[in-house]
Amino acid sequence: MPLSMCRIGSTVVVKDLGLDQALSKRLCSMGLIKGAFITVISAEYNGPMTVELLGSQLALGYEIAAQIQVATSKYH
């Protein structure tokens, strides 16, 4: 499912970054890679969302979050 559909407070694992190469490289440099656990801190309907990643918060626009595929995490 896309990250943009996740609820506040949910922890998910990144499965795929369906973004262009430059943006994927930038997000990878911040730790947003396949297999990374992220927690949704805040989200607006069709708006930006804030996620926690490796102890830091990262703001993502809706269009970017909609292209990041995630799966629910049972173990984190």
Q: Mean pLDDT throughout 3-26?
A: 94
Q: How confident is the model at residue 14 (pLDDT cuts 50, 70, 90)?
A: very high
- Which domains are present in the chain? 3-72 (2.30.30.90)
Output Rg (C-alpha) for the chain, integer angstroms.
11
pLDDT digits 0-9 by tens, 22-67: 999 999 999 999 999 999 999 988 999 999 999 999 999 999 999 9
Q: How confident is the model at residue 21 (pLDDT cuts 50, 70, 90)?
A: very high
Q: b vs e for 28-65, b when ≥16 Cβ sit within 10 Å of the residue's Cβ?
A: eeeebeeebebbbeebeeeeebebebeeeebebebebb
Q: Which two tokens stand for residue 27?
A: 């997000």
As a whole number of angstroms, the distance between CA 29 and CA 46 comes to: 26
Backbone angles phi, psi at 31, to 5 degrees: 100, 0
